[in-house]
Copies of this chain bind each other. A is one copy, B any other.
Amino acid sequence: MDMLWSGWGDPAKAAPLPDTVTGLLRDLLGVTPRGSGPTALDDIAVPGSPLTPEAHRALADCLGDPAHLRTDAETRIRHTRGKSTPDLLRIRAGEVDDIPAAVLLPGSHDEVLAVLRVCAEHQVAAVPFGGGTSVVGGLAPERTTFVALDLRRLDALLGLDEVSRTATLQPGLRAPRAEALLNERGYTLGHFPQSYEWATIGGFAAARSSGQASAGYGRFDEMVLGLTVATPEGTWETGRAPRSAAGPDLRQLVLGSEGALGVITSVTVRIRPLPQERVYEGWRFASFEAGAAALRRIAQDGPRPTVLRLSDETETFIGLAQPDRIGSADAAGSAGCMAVVGYEGTAAANEECRTGVHQVLLAEGGEHVGSEPGDRWAHGRYNAPYLRDALLDAGAFAETLETAAFWSAIPELYQGVRLALTTTLTDAGTPPLVMCHISHVYENGASLYFTVVSAQGEDPVAHWAPAKHAANEAILAAGGTISHHHGVGTDHRDWYATEVGPLGVRVLQAAKAELDPAGVLNPGILVPPRHP
């Protein structure tokens, strides 16, 4: 099944907003219904493929079957940009100026290698496409002729080493399928980001994804032990041992490279035994500050549960942590901040960890509010993107952004980003609701995940741009990273350049020039092309 072209996920799961929410949006934010929904797919004016006949033929020759090179309008539309709110607003309006010239479906590492060689020869750019879930412009390269490399045919579990507890996966495997293949053998990857239902293994690696169970299972980049990469210059293999002192860790150069250094064609990951039991529970804290202090204590001194997240007062009040309860009486009636704590493992290990966690959270002033909030969170954990579609349909604007910093910088980062978003959007006449949660914790810091809802304004894409700009500036000013788990893409590129500094940019450009001398790999993503 393909994802909804104009929004998120399985079209059958789309649901309109409850009347209570529509009322809240109107009364609180001045959201008024828009007249029309998305343009019809058939009404979108798609330009002909700009591929030259020579390039078309040479690319087709790389693939076993002519059906694996597609230039029909629908396929091309479905591979246009990603799933950020501006992406959705533009595709809903029928804007397809970033449309690929063709969609290729390579079936092997060697086919990807061949395609990249042809791309270099014909000056056609290549954009790897996994789940298509980028929210940072990672699929919209600099205006140029490009093909999307849809990796869905590379969907095998290539190997599983039970002694070493590693699995080698192809990049086009969607997360639920990868998880099912591992589950059959008694293992789990433990990687459950919000994009779980659609995102792929290759995308997780290329964009340094982080899942909702990261407290227990770690980030995706921490799970990766080896990578095979296809580049225009040939095959690049990294990762010979779990840890090594043999030079720089080149795996860490591939992770986060977002298709700019090569196309990841296999990923060897650490796997863990399937948990016997998954237990989630809710905790209430008097304030975001108090809750954050409690999470910090757990992150630094343990015991470490598998899931650990904390909504701020606004998010708790609105109940976004439980989307299906938004605006309901009991969500609105709850004061303070809600945390979700989860335990995944053997029953005995869960019980032991839970006892220790309870001791710490009680000492930190937490109130245990039972399993119901945890279960509701677990039940609705992948639903927020569906909710966004409904909000857009209702005439609201909704977007998320995220960052991470050392613990000591978290209070200023939290206040700075909220202020930037609130001021910018209020000045523009659409006062927003800004919600935040701590989504991931580490010994030395944490991530902050913000959700913004407001009225759309006249031109919603243009309306949002200054707010996003101000949030990015606030993130850097407060010492945060421009992205904790969404990536850089084109949307964050300028701030990323500030974050890594001119020498960091030059090193990446030099690596890219070496692996991709023709500059055809997702050009303009991550770093600007060299000597433009």
Contacts and interface: CB of A to CB of B under 8 A. Distances in A.
A194 to B, nearest CB: 14
A216 B82 CA distance: 41
B510 A406 contact: no
A35 interface: no
A483 B244 contact: yes
Contacts of A231: 503
Interface string A426-443: 000000000000001011
A372 interface: no
Most central of A165, A210, A241, A440 by chain B CB within 10 Å: A241
A248 interface: yes
Interface in A391-420: 403-409
B444 A225 contact: yes
Nearest to A442: B242
Interface stretch (A7-15, A22-30, A253-261, A325-333): A253-261
A508 interface: yes
A354 interface: no
A506 interface: yes
Given A445-B164, A507-B511, A245 B256 contact: yes
A245 B499 contact: no
Contacts of A484: 241, 243-245
A252 interface: yes
A438 to B, nearest CB: 13
A464 interface: no
A330 to B, nearest CB: 35
A454 interface: no
Contacts of A163: 296, 406-408
Given A246-B256, A500-B247, A405 B507 contact: no
Interface string A160-179: 01011110000000000000
A408 B235 CA distance: 25
Contacts of A501: 235-237
A180 interface: no
Nearest to A408: B163
Given A241-B481, A244-B208, A481-B241, A407 B496 contact: no
A226 to B, nearest CB: 9
A95 to B, nearest CB: 27
A300 interface: yes
A238 B504 CA distance: 8
A9 to B, nearest CB: 22
A247 B404 contact: no
A209 interface: yes
A514 interface: yes
A113 interface: no
Interface in A12-48: none
A284 to B, nearest CB: 23
Contact of A503 (B161, B209, B233): B233
B510 A243 contact: no
9 contacts: A164-B406, A241-B405, A242-B406, A242-B443, A243-B404, A244-B484, A248-B257, A506-B514, A510-B513
A486 to B, nearest CB: 6
A485 B38 CA distance: 57
A104 interface: no
Contacts of A208: 244-245
B510 A510 contact: yes
A248 B256 contact: yes
A488 interface: yes
A320 interface: no
A153 interface: no
Contact of A245 (B209, B409, B503, B507): B209
A270 interface: yes
A509 B248 CA distance: 12
A219 interface: yes
Contacts of A514: 503, 506-507, 509-510
A514 B296 CA distance: 40
A515 interface: yes
